[in-house]
Every structure is written in C-alpha cells, then in structure tokens.
C-alpha cells in the first residue's frame, strides 16, 4: 500500500517516514497530479457564477495529495538523499513543471479568477483580498496572458530550468562528499582543539581509516580553517571548499549556471519584464533592482572604510606575528580568531564548554516559552526519516496542541551543507478545523564524540536561534489559507523573525537559561557575556562587505536581458563584479569560485534576493530596539510581535504588518548603530 494515497492516520497526521520507500514516490506523484487536475477541472466546469469560494478557495484547497508527496520528497532530497532519490528528482521534475504550467496557463481557470478579481474587493477580509490578488498575479506572472506559442516556450523553459537547478545541487553535494583530508601524523594537527581532533578521529574510524579525517562539512571545515597552524593545509582545504563544482570534471557547474541564468532571463523577457531581477523584485518589499542597489550602495558606503581599516589591521597583525607578507583568504579566519582572542580574551574554545547542544536546545525552548507561552514535549512515538532526528510536540500554556517540531542537527553524506528551516505541513483552516503545522530545522553541528558531548561554537548557537526563529514563524501561524501561512511571505521579510531571535544570544538573562559548563554546571561568567557583546562588532565591516559582495554577485547574474547576456565568457561573472566594485581585499584565488556552489541563488529561492539578509537586518535591529526598550522578555512586546508578524504570515503586505507592530517604518540607523558603522 502506497502511504501517500490516502490522508495519514498517524497521531497528528504526520508523515509516516517508516512506511515510505523510494518506490512510492513516482506512482504517488503521478496519481497526485491526476487528482489535482481533476480538482482543477471541477472548478473550471462548475456552472455556477464564479465566486471567491468556488474559485479561489477551491483552488487553494486543490492538490492535497500532491502536496503530501512533494513535501516529503523534496525535504528529504535535501536532508537525507541518495543516488536513487536524485534520479527520482530528475524524473519527476519535468512532471511537476508541466503540472504547474497546466494550472498557471489554464485559460478557463484564469478566466474564472479574473471574473472574481474584476468584481473588486468589497466584502472581503484583508486576508481574502491578499489571496485573490496573489492568485491573479500568480497567473499573470506565470504565463496566463501569453499566446499558445509563448506558453509552449515557457513550459519548455520551466522544465529545463527545474532540471538544471536539481543538477546544480547534486553536483555541489557530490563535490563536497568527494573531498577528504586524511592526516596521519600528530604534527599535522598543530593548533587544533582536542574536541576537533577527537571528532576527526571518530570520522576516520567510521570510514575505516587510520588517522584524523577532515571534510568540507561545516563542523569539520570551519574549525580546521580557524585553528590549524599549518598554513599549507589551510590552503589545501580552503581551495577545495571554495572550488566546489568548479573543477574540470563531470560535476562542474559553470555551464549549469549559464544555462539557469539564460533561462531565467529569457523567461522574464517573455513575461514582459526587463530582467529576472525585475521579475523577482516586483513581489518584494524592495520593489525593483534600483532600490536594491541603492540600499546595498548605501551600506557599502558606510561599511567600506571600516572594512579597509580592518583588513589593514589584520594584515599588520599577521605580519607581526608570523611575518606574513600577503594575507590570503585561507589566513583570514585563523588570524581573525587569534586577534579576537588577544583583543577580547575570548575565543570559541573558551566558550564552547558552555554551549552543550542539549542545553542550548532547552534554552531556545525556554526562550520561546517566556516570549510566546509555548513548551516542547519530546515524542518517541512519531516516525522520523533518520535516527538523528528528534520530534517534539509543541503546546501552549493551556496544553493545547500547537505544532510538531522536527530537529535534525548533525552532518551526514546524504545531507546538504548549511542550515535551514522547512515545513512538512503548513497551518491552515480546513473544514473549520485548525490544521496545525509540522515544522523542521536542519543543521550541521559538531557531533558528540565518545568522550565529549556536542559542544557548539557561539556562531552555531546563533545559527540554532536563527533557524528556530524561522520555525516559530511556521509554528505560531494562525491564518486561514496555507499559501499565506507562516513563512509564506516576501523573501526580504522572511528573515526578520530568524535574525531577530539571534539578538537574545547576546543577552545575559537569556544565556543564563542554558549557557552552563557541561562538566561543572557553572553558569557562563558575566565577564564572558560582556566579552561576547564587546566582540560583537569585531571585523563587522569586512563581514558586511562580504554580504554586500554576495548580494551584488547575485544581482550581477540576474540584471541583464537575455539578448544582451554574454553566455560564453571564460570568466565567471562574479570575479568581474567583485573586482570592479573593489569588494575583495584578498588576492584572487584562481581555483576558487563562489557562484558554482552558491546554492542560495541557483538551487534555493534567493535569486535576485540575497540582499534580503541585510534588508531584514534593518528590520530586526529596529524590532529588537522595541524589546530593549521594554525588556527582552516583555510579554506585551512579544505578544504584539507574535500577533502582527509571526501569526499573521503573509496575510497582508509586510510593510503594513511591521508598522502595526512598531508603530512606524524601520529605521536603518538601528542596524548601523548595532554594527558600529556610525
């Protein structure tokens, strides 16, 4: 029996991962597409006068089975994939693209939506207005107004584009998994903390090798590049990390990128937009590329003098310490960490014993309880897709069910790098019942060893809080429609809850909840907390310029028309972008390339949107000032943020929601002040 065919009968209608086999996916997707088409045809053939309910609500509720399959498959294809799943992804991608186009280019369906749209918005709630407007725009932005020849061309573009994005991600994962740095002599481990060496030893043992094994997974790569005194080995692992899918082999992504960019540009022009960036930004807070570049240039103007000074200081420090004539990219993290420790008497290894993963998880749960009145209960009776995954039931203060929360923390070969939040099921009202969400966060933290529990760096602590902020956005959703629920908001607004929650990591009342020494139980000393705060702006100029550089690489790829796009250049566009702008202080490393593994923009949803991290920083800095004014656990402020931001999801334009919370628009000075750039 295929577990996807009927609604789940599990405790919370959660996905029965223990019943799912790879063989189930393709038949279920084909059947799901067939059911969804039948539901669309019922809307089209309905003889009654088109109304909001029999068109928009019916459309919103269609495709239930298809959603069940795809939410399981694509989440696992990122978190627990294998060659068979990747082959399935390549097979189903054109099927899903074709179905999406079947809906978005359905003239009869669009005619009904247009009829409702043309009646106006009288009598509709704000949420209903948003659903109607979004539906109308979605049809228009996906080819409903094109002629048949143009629609056929768009269908072809979408199918090709989807397959290329899948291939891009597969190549990055295969390149990441292919690299191993096996060290067999103690002298090669100089500078590495004991915990890092223990983890490397265990990894080597797990792969039946003698010595210490380092990979390109973040918990392995970051400590090595930060602490190893062996400059030659830092260079080796840096070049491997920064050249993923940039080698002259079958996993090279250069032609894949050019193909994706070409198709995106061609698609945008076909739909009447100047560039892919114009197409994307029409549905963002920023509105257009000009506003994005103006925003980035303003930040760059403020940050560049600080960044230049920081680079000069770092170069001088490396020269005085180790007679380094020219600072290279594989030196940056190493000397920054040494300089930070010398300047602030603090480093990751001093703090790590206070950040045991289990305690940090308890701390973020307690933070959520104090702010939003929810608590977390571990459930061992709910199936998971990997033994590392833990499931919690989320309840409110009245013990009412709120959500399911899946936590997946450790790296493995089938998981892509980085950290992200996702949903297995969105919140919505269905048949007058509140369907509660199933939310997951996926990270790549340091695994426990046989002698030491998983101890996080401070950066990993903020990562956990960041992804948990996204999870709160999903878990506390309280809308009517799944497509407007939780994180279904503008991309340059979606990072507000996640980046906001990071601020609590710097506050003593929050750290006291969980920052306790894993051996002694001693709370983190107040002097350490002050050092964390004092070091907050360390190298913030260079970090800001780095983010601006990535955002401009993104915009550089997506701001040209198809006809003027030069597709046969030997050099990747990013090198021209960063060198012209003067945003790269280090010598160029010919072997490295950001774009070929820039999954955010070529596999994820951030194309023409990477700027949104900095955009949302303005919002989060301004929003956190409200908490600082009234207390970081002030219930009134937290409740306002919950009601107006977290629970509201995408029900109204984000600028309206933010003004409702803050009483005004966000001020950029809050970010500049926090970052020490004014």
Cβ atoms of residues 408 and 389 within 8 Å? yes
CA distances from 399 to 375, 407, 473 (A): 9, 21, 20
Q: Is 467 a catalytic residue?
A: yes
- Residue 35 Cα to chain centre, angstroms: 31
Q: What is the DSSP secondary-structure string of 147-174?
A: -HHHHHHHHHHHHHHHHHHHHHHHHHHH
- Residue 256 Cα to chain centre, angstroms: 21
- Exactly one of 170, 460, 467, 502 is catalytic; name it: 467
CA distances from 396 to 403, 591, 645 (A): 10, 52, 18
CA distances from 174 to 168, 417, 595 (A): 10, 11, 16
- The span from the CA of 522 to the CA of 554, in Å, is 45
Other beta carbons less than 10 A from residue 158's beta carbon: 22
Cβ atoms of residues 392 and 378 within 8 Å? yes
Classify burial at 613, counting beta carbons within 10 Å of its beta carbon; exposed 0-12, middle 13-18, buried 19 or more: middle
- The three-state DSSP-derived secondary structure of 109-133 is HHHHHHHHHHCCCCCCCHHHHHHHH
CA distances from 602 to 110, 504, 524 (A): 30, 32, 41
* Catalytically annotated residues: 467
């Amino acid at each position: 029996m295929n577990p996807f065919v009927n609604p789940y009968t599990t405790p919370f209608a959660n996905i029965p991962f223990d019943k799912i086999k790879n063989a189930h996916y393709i038949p279920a997707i084909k059947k799901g597409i067939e059911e969804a088409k039948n539901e669309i045809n019922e809307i089209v053939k309905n003889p009654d006068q088109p109304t909001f309910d029999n068109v928009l609500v019916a459309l919103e509720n269609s495709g239930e089975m298809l959603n069940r399959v795809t939410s399981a498959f694509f989440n696992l294809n990122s978190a627990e994939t294998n060659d068979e799943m990747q082959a399935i992804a390549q097979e189903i991608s054109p099927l899903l693209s074709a179905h999406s186009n079947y809906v978005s280019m359905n003239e009869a369906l669009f005619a009904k939506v247009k009829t409702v749209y043309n009646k106006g918005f009288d009598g509709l709630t704000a949420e209903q207005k948003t659903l109607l407007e979004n539906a109308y725009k979605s049809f228009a932005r996906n080819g409903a107004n094109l002629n048949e020849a143009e629609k056929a061309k768009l269908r072809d573009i979408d199918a090709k584009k989807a397959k290329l994005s899948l291939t891009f991600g597969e190549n990055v994962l295969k390149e990441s998994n292919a690299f191993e740095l096996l060290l067999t002599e103690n002298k090669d481990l100089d500078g590495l903390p004991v915990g890092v060496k223990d983890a490397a030893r265990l990894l080597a043992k797990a792969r039946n090798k003698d010595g210490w094994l380092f990979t390109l997974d973040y918990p392995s790569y970051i400590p090595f590049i930060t602490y190893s005194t062996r400059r030659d080995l830092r260079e080796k692992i840096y070049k491997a990390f920064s050249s993923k899918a940039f080698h002259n082999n079958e996993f090279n992504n250069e032609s894949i990128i050019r193909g994706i960019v070409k198709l995106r540009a061609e698609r945008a022009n076909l739909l009447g937009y100047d560039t892919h960036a114009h197409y994307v930004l029409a549905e963002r807070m920023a509105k257009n590329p000009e506003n994005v570049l103006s925003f980035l240039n303003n930040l760059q103007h403020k940050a560049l003098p600080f960044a230049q000074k920081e680079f000069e200081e770092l170069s001088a420090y490396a020269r005085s310490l180790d007679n380094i004539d020219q600072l290279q990219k594989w030196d940056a993290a190493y000397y920054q960490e040494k300089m930070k420790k010398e300047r602030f008497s603090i480093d990751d290894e001093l703090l790590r014993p206070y950040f045991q993963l289990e305690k940090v998880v308890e701390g973020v749960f307690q933070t959520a309880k104090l702010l939003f009145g929810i608590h977390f209960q571990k459930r061992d009776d709910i199936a998971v897709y990997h033994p590392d995954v833990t499931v919690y039931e989320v309840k409110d203060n009245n013990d009412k069910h709120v959500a399911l929360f899946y936590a997946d923390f450790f790296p493995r070969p089938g998981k892509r790098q980085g950290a992200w939040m996702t949903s297995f099921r969105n919140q919505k009202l269905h048949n007058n019942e509140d369907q509660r969400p199933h939310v997951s966060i996926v990270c790549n933290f340091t695994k426990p060893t046989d002698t030491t529990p998983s101890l996080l760096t401070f950066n990993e602590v903020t990562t956990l809080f960041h992804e948990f902020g996204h999870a709160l956005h999903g878990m506390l959703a309280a809308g009517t429609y799944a497509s407007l629920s939780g994180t279904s908001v503008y991309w340059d607004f979606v990072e507000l809850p996640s980046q906001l929650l990071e601020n609590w990591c710097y506050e003593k009342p929050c750290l006291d909840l969980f920052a306790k020494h894993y051996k002694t139980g001693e709370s983190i000393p107040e002097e350490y907390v002050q050092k964390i705060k004092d070091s907050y702006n360390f190298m913030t100029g260079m970090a800001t310029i780095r983010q601006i550089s990535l955002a401009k690489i993104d915009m550089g790829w997506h701001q040209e028309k198809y006809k003027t796009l030069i597709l046969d250049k030997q050099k990747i566009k990013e090198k021209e972008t960063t060198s012209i702008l003067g945003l790269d202080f280090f010598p160029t490393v010919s072997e490295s390339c950001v774009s070929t593994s820039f999954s955010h923009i070529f596999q994820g949803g951030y194309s023409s949107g990477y700027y949104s991290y900095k955009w949302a920083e303005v919002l989060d800095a301004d929003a956190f000032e409200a908490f600082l004014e009234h207390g970081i656990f002030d219930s009134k402020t937290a409740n306002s943020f919950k009601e107006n931001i977290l629970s509201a999801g995408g029900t109204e334009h984000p600028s309206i929601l933010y003004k409702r919370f803050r009483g005004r628009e966000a001020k950029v000075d809050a970010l500049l002040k926090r970052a020490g750039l004014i």
